[in-house]
Amino acid sequence: MHAMAQAATEAVTGAARTAPATIGDSEFDRDTAVTLREEGVYDAELSAGWTIIHAVNGGYLLALIGRALGEALPHPDPFSVSAHYLTASVPGPAVIRTEVVRTGRTLSTGQASLLQYDENGDEVERIRVLATYGDLDALPDDVRTTALPPAMPGRDHCLGPSDGAPEIPGSSAITERLDIKLDPATVGWAIGAPSGKGEMRGWFGLADGRDPDALSLLLTVDALPPTSFELGLTGWTPTVELTTHIRCRPAPGPLRVAITTRNLAGGFLEEDAEVWDSADRLVAQSRQLAKAPRTA
Amino acid sequence: MHAMAQAATEAVTGAARTAPATIGDSEFDRDTAVTLREEGVYDAELSAGWTIIHAVNGGYLLALIGRALGEALPHPDPFSVSAHYLTASVPGPAVIRTEVVRTGRTLSTGQASLLQYDENGDEVERIRVLATYGDLDALPDDVRTTALPPAMPGRDHCLGPSDGAPEIPGSSAITERLDIKLDPATVGWAIGAPSGKGEMRGWFGLADGRDPDALSLLLTVDALPPTSFELGLTGWTPTVELTTHIRCRPAPGPLRVAITTRNLAGGFLEEDAEVWDSADRLVAQSRQLAKAPRTA
């Protein structure tokens, strides 16, 4: 059975799954749980459920770190999170060491390191993060924006794994936890006909039906296939740095994600993601610098 | 005498200024100098020459921190620099404390804090930075980009302070050190007729003629007036976070800078900057999250 179909089946057959999962009681919440060890230090277990090939997805890791920082800082919500990826994370135990850098009235800034253990039990740093937190509920309602939601077909006209169409080559466990439907205009790569444009668009949800919140947006910005696929490149695009701005608490319901790359050059590319919620609000913007695949 | 005209006059009258300044021997280089105090710790003097109103310009500070990190890390060039701004810097002594986070073959990652001193001599942190460095000269020449340089008039048809047109309200010393000519399409704010679009474009150079390099690009991305002026807002837009990607060593000659804002909402806005060199290469991309001015 196809992974996505299987996940959907499990979602409707399990007794505890007759209703959609909720914020606080979902796969995502359980797998991003952190346990206070001592002040500022949190233990976590990196779940094998969010891997692509063998590596743990960078957006999932960011959400987990974001959760720890939300506990360590006086403000609840990530406003700007800058992550520099150092070494590839693997499923298993991890520790997050946080530092409160500055506490202000409306914003506070923290730092976090995600570490795992080598064969000698020594800590190896995976990701270092600087983040500024605030309270999304305290923001005024003004919107003075020129941005429009991405032009893409409705969810029913987009393509998911169960449509027999695109699947990330070699990708694995994370597919079962996400409900992604890609814009047909950006899936040419799956049939050997990439568009040549640095664009990737799709509808995003969690497979168990949990609604989005500020933390899950940190996962959303790094969950679609890389734009390099549509630029005719296959292979891995490891993230060097990823900065995400959370601009609004997302409304319940599916999200739209549009990713663009303007500059694939010198062996690197940037990926800009915009995330729009069901109320047509631009709820997150991110940019990452990634290494371009070596193979054409 | 107008500040820009005065700077130009000084540039041609001083004996040492009959030729353009060079990389390594210029105002910018002298004012971003750092002195090793002990391993990883650098003393610096924040010059009053790069202030806007009373605050020291964030891009100038970033270049200074970038210089210290370039000395502390095994790789010379900033590839991705994420800065979270904590408190406003003032002219005078400062110290930069660096940490080598990870050293790799092609990339290394470091962290830096810029601190100044309060009335008791205690350190106060101004900016914290995470940065990944590499060697721009080691990158392959491939360019596979869909981006085009900004559509804007030639430098002679753009407007600088000596054209009697736009001057940043209350701005001061930094104007004398920069040679900025703005696209007439984005200076409506200066005559009370903002375009309503979140766009700002201009030609950028250093007033003493020094050519751009990777470090000066860190200044360039935060040097134009804020897009909020063209959105009809006046007043200060303090940077919360600024991440810059340096993608290519810039060719000699003037730079073009295009800044766009898509989302002014909830009291914050993002500013995306692209910097193009005289060889039509996209040499830097940056994004900042800033607080929107309170007044309309």
ipTM entry: 0.92
- Beta carbons of B125 and A146 less than 8 Å apart: no
Examine the pLDDT at A7 and tell me if it is beyond 70. Answer: no
Q: C-alpha angle with apex B14: B11 to B16, nearest 5 degrees?
A: 95
Examine the pLDDT at B9 and tell me if it is beyond 60. Answer: no
- pLDDT of res. B1: 34
- pLDDT of res. A145: 75
- Beta carbons of B282 and A265 less than 8 Å apart: yes
- pLDDT of res. A203: 98
- pLDDT of res. A167: 60
Which of A12-26, A254-268, B12-26 is modeled with the greatest confidence? A254-268
Q: Is A8 strand, coil or helix?
A: helix
Among residues of chain B, what percentage have pLDDT more than 70? 91
- B249-274 pLDDT, tens per residue? 999 999 999 999 999 999 999 999 99
Block residue for tokens 């900065």: A243
A32-135 and A155-291, same CATH topology? yes
| Closest chain B residue to the Cα of A79, Cα to Cα | B289
Q: Closest Cα to residue B206, out of B38, B34, B59, B1? A: B59
Q: Does domain A32-135 have CATH number 2.40.30.10?
A: no
Residue A260 makes CB contacts below 8 A (sequence gap 6+) with A198, A199, A227, A271, A272
Instruction: Kindly list the domain boundaries of chain A, sorted by start residue.
Output: 32-135, 155-291
Block residue for tokens 């360019």: B143
**A contacts of B245 (beta carbons < 8 Å):** 241, 268, 270, 287, 289
- pLDDT of res. A171: 61
Q: 5-34 in B: which are within 8 Å (CB) of A? A: none
- B36-95 pLDDT, tens per residue? 999 999 999 999 999 987 789 999 999 999 999 999 999 999 999 999 999 999 999 999
- Report the alpha-carbon distance of residue A146 to residue B198 in Å, rounded: 7
- A69-102 pLDDT, tens per residue? 999 999 999 999 999 999 999 999 999 999 999 9
- pLDDT of res. B105: 96
Question: B123 vs A5, which has greater pLDDT?
Answer: B123
Q: Which class is A155-291 in CATH?
A: mainly beta
Token digits of residue A288: 């990452």
Token digits of residue A37: 């060890």
Examine the pLDDT at A293 and tell me if it is beyond 60. Answer: yes
- Beta carbons of A247 and B268 less than 8 Å apart: yes
Q: 143-182 in A: which are within 8 Å (CB) of B? A: 143-147
Q: If you average pLDDT over residues A22-51, what whole number do you get? A: 97
- B139-193 pLDDT, tens per residue? 998 888 778 999 999 999 999 877 765 566 656 788 899 999 999 999 999 889 9
Residue type, B91: P
Task: Give the A:B interface size as CB pairs under 8 Å.
Answer: 164
Q: Closest Cα to residue A42, out of A50, A34, A52? A: A34
Examine the pLDDT at B194 and tell me if it is beyond 50. Answer: yes
Report the gap between the CA of A169 and the closest CA in chain B (Å): 22
- Report the alpha-carbon distance of residue A290 to residue B247 in Å, rounded: 12
Q: If you average pLDDT over residues A147-158, what whole number do you get? A: 94
Among residues of chain B, what percentage have pLDDT more than 90? 80
pLDDT band at residue A162 using 50, 70 and 90 as cut-offs: confident
Q: If you average pLDDT over residues A163-171, what whole number do you get? A: 61
